[in-house]
Amino acid sequence: MSATAAPPQAAAPAEPPAHKPSARKRLVPYWLLLPGILWLLVFFVLPMAYQASTSVQTGSLEEGFQVTWHFRTYWDALTEYYPQFLRSLLYAGTATALCLLLGYPLAYLIAFRAGRWRNLLLILVIAPFFTSFLIRTLAWKTILADGGPVVAALNTVGFLDVTSWLGLTEGDRVLATPLAVVCGLTYNFLPFMILPLYTSLERIDTRLHEAAQDLYARPATVFRKVTFPLSMPGVVAGTLLTFIPASGDYVNAELLGSADTRMIGNVIQSQYLRILDYPTAAALSFILMAVVLVMVTIYIRRAGTEDLV
Amino acid sequence: MTDKTEGGDVRLAGISKHYGTFTAVHPLDLTIPQGSFFALLGASGCGKTTTLRMIAGLEEPSTGTVGLGDRDVTHLPPYKRPVNTVFQSYALFPHMDIYENVAFGLRRRGITSVKKQVDEMLELVQLGQFARRKPHQLSGGQQQRVAVARALINHPQVLLLDEPLGALDLKLRRQMQLELKRIQTEVGITFVHVTHDQEEAMTMADTVAVMNAGRVEQLGAPAELYENPRTTFVANFLGTSNLIQASVESVGGAGGDVDVSASGAKLRLPVARCSTTPRAGGQLLVGVRPEKISVVPADEEHTIGAGRNKVTGRIVDSSFIGVSTQYVVDSAVCPELEVYVQNIERDGRLVPGAEVVLHWNPEHTFGLDAAQSMLAGTTAVAGAEQLVEESA
């Protein structure tokens, strides 16, 4: 105590170093960064490097794999599996759009209209996380089972006729069709859309709504000109949190789909675990990563969220 | 401006607002003349903002009607009312620049060529060079001016100001008060200004309505309210008053005066200045403003002219505040009489402990109904009253 409690006169000369911190002080931020950096190094950078090297190897499981800088694997993987790539992006995109359409009104309601039900509704949104992703998807298998009440009901109202005509379902089946996979994806990733949307909507000062109404904006215009633009950070975060994992997902296509609905995740999984063609699996992973990265970059540029407060 | 000939008065007829069992505004009748600068003054929670929001249409009255001129606008949504608001926190749209904020109202009404009007309005509030800045890049005072410009550009019949200067520091606030007053005179639009700052209300407004616990206590020109408060709340909330509990001895003596006595002191006031009808033998609260009182040392009592109200006492505190000196005097009639004396020639004998005689012109004395609390409207009580009101 006596060492630190310097008299006021002694404190004055100690002030200039505040502008020019000592070497030890300057290093503090780096020390704080170290644990996280180490973690990322061991569990992110090293596996990535390992995968990158795998993707340019050739060989077989019996003879072992060797780095031969065989970049052709990328080209072969792309030409062979581009339908699955396109399908993944299409399914993920559709599911993201559905999530936005379903999630936005719900997030809006929770943020502005729920009153004392707000916390309960938020818990209900998060509640599915208390069960495993796999179990929940399996449950959908039961829900959409052939001849089950849901399918029967959809059949009765003629919904399935429309979706069959659109090529989304086949006959009176929902399971093993694109519709089932997209529904599964939408269901599983909906909370990842709702939560960021809610967070950004909830931050909007409701006086801005009043100000807009006071300035002759009808409720629809208030939404279009004030609420929606201000919720853009949430829209961007929600769509990214939905689209990125959905495009790499394989569980939904595996459990709810068929051979015709295979997504790129299913291909990578089978290359790794069944065909044991590690280089192709690694190459596919990197292609997916690159495609998603490019799409996301373009999207963020277009959405212009850096302009928002 | 075309608005000078259109529009009309704001007429509130029996409007009230309840939230559950809590009454924010008791049935209220108020007419705000066109083109006037009208202030609703009161402590926080007195219902002044709720009243303003009912005029704006942001709050639906529980009972009563809101009229603009001959039109009943009670059930019109805010976006259909020819009324604009300057919000307490300005509520500028953070994702739009200043230009777009100001143009918002015009664009919503389908006006496409807004440039000339927006530029003119930004010039009026001296923010021309900031048109392309975002609100968060401006200072509080500049944001406040944007909020005024954004509302005024629509030429509303009535401009509502909800404590628009509350977030500004004192010096800027004084400057903006004059600025707003200038703009109001220039555009001739009715301004309804909500504030808790009595000085602000008196400086700016032609008419002030003092509100307390959901009711208008008194309404009038600032000088009228200050000189002739009709309730203890107004007497205490608007400036400071010395209130003395007195019993009436005779009414209508020499020249229609009331003679009262308080703890031995004989005081006199004009009947015309009593807000209640005094009866001989009854009680009366006698009030006098601190700056009307003169103070002399006790041994100079003979210098005081005849016919003045006189009270003896002892100075217990004095504080020098530049233009004046404020004394607190302990006397038999009131333990804490406040006296403000201009610092023209300072008397060295007037120090704490000195025995003094206070005297003032009986014409400067007012009388209030003795049945009310003497402390209503003082800062210590304002908060407590609010609690009682809310729990009721």
Among the listed residues B272, B356, B259, the one whose alpha carbon sits nearest the alpha carbon of residue B307: B259
Interface contact B78-A207, CB threshold 8 A? no
Burial annotation A186-206 (CB, 10 A radius, 16+ → b, else e): bbbbbbbbbbbbbbbbbebee
User: Which segment of A101-110, B3-12, B201-210, B246-255 scores lowest on mean pLDDT?
Assistant: B3-12
Task: Specify the pLDDT at position A304.
Answer: 67
Q: Which of A138, A177, A124, A185 is nearest to A154 (CA)?
A: A177
Domain match, B294 and B182 both? no
pLDDT mean by block of 10 residues, chain A; 309 residues: 44 49 83 94 95 90 86 93 95 97 96 93 92 92 90 89 86 89 95 96 94 96 95 94 95 92 94 91 94 92 63
Q: Is residue B233, in this structure, part of any structural domain at all?
A: no
Query: Which CATH number belongs to the domain containing residue B308 in this structure?
Result: 2.40.50.100
Whole-angstrom Cα distance, residue B174 to residue B223? 19
Greater pLDDT, B382 or A163: A163
Q: Are residues B112 and B223 in the same domain?
A: yes
Band (pLDDT 50/70/90 cuts) for residue B74 is very high
- pLDDT tens readout for residues B13-65: 999 999 989 999 999 999 999 999 999 999 888 999 999 999 999 999 999 99
Answer with the one of B197, B227, B257 that is the final residue of a domain: B227
Query: Cβ–Cβ contacts within 10 Å for residue B300, how many?
Result: 12
Indicate if the alpha-carbon torsion angle B17, B23, B27, B33 is positive or negative: negative
The one-letter amino acid at A171: G
Touching check for A12 and chain B: CB below 8 Å?
no
B190-195 and B37-41 beta bridge pairing = parallel
Indicate whether B40 and B107 sit together in one domain: yes
pLDDT tens string B154-186: 999 999 999 988 878 888 888 889 888 988 988
How distant, in Å, are the alpha carbons of A68, B226, B242, B327 from that of B336? 99, 20, 8, 9
Predicted local confidence at residue B255, as pLDDT = 67
Residue type, A112: F
In a domain, B4, yes or no: no
Q: What is the CA radius of gyration of chain A?
A: 26
Task: Return the half-sphere exposure (C-beta side, CA atoms, 13 A cut-off) of residue A20.
Answer: 4
Q: Could you say which of B227, B261, B286 is where a domain stops?
A: B227
Strands B190-195 and B207-212: unpaired
As beta bridge partners, residue A67 has A57
Nearest CA in chain A to B158: A214
Is the same domain home to B101 and B162? Answer: yes
CA angle B199, B201, B204 (to 5 degrees): 105
β partners of residue B384: none
Q: How much is the pLDDT for B385?
A: 46
Over pLDDT 90: what percentage of chain B? 62
On the question of pLDDT at B382 being above 80, the answer is no
Q: Does residue B266 form part of some domain? A: yes
**What pLDDT is attached to residue B217?**
92
**Element holding B49 (H helix, E strand):** helix B48-56
pLDDT in tens, B237-269: 998 899 999 999 888 765 678 889 888 888 989
Task: Report the domain count for chain B.
Answer: 2
Residues B161 and B115 in one domain: yes
For the stretch B326-345, pLDDT in tens is 999 999 888 889 999 998 88
Domain boundary among B227, B259, B284: B227
Cβ distance A216 to B79 less than 8 Å, yes or no, reads yes
β-sheet bridge partners, residue B311: B358
Enter the DSSP assignment of B157: S
* pLDDT reported for residue A222: 96
Shared-domain flag, residues B190 and B247: no
The predicted pLDDT at position B358 comes to 93
Q: How many Cα neighbours within 13 Å face the side chain of B55?
A: 33
B260 in the same domain as B207: no
Residue B253 and residue B220 in one domain: no
Question: Would you give the end-to-end CA distance of chain B in angstroms?
Answer: 47
Instruction: Say which CATH number the domain at B172 has.
Output: 3.40.50.300
CA atoms of B115 and B100, how far apart (whole Å): 10
β-partners of residue B72 are: B67
In a domain, B1, yes or no: no
Most B CBs within 10 A among A208, A216, A231, A306, hence the mutation to make, goes to A216
Q: Say what the pLDDT of residue A14 is.
A: 45
User: In chain B, which residues have their Cβ closer than 8 Å to the Cβ of A210?
Assistant: 58, 78, 85, 87, 91
DSSP character at residue B253: -
pTM over 0.90, yes/no? no
Q: Are A81 and A267 in contact (CB under 8 A)?
A: yes
Average pLDDT, chain B: 88
**Structural domain harbouring B214:** 10-227
- Check residue B305 and give its pLDDT: 85
Residues of chain B whose beta carbon is less than 8 angstroms from a beta carbon of chain A are 56-58, 77-80, 83-85, 87, 89, 91-95, 104-105, 108-109, 134, 136, 150-151, 154
Determine the Cα–Cα distance for residues B293 and B279; give it in Å rounded to an integer: 26
Q: How large is the average pLDDT for residues B357-383?
A: 81
Q: Considering only CB atoms, which chain B residues are within 8 Å of A224?
A: none
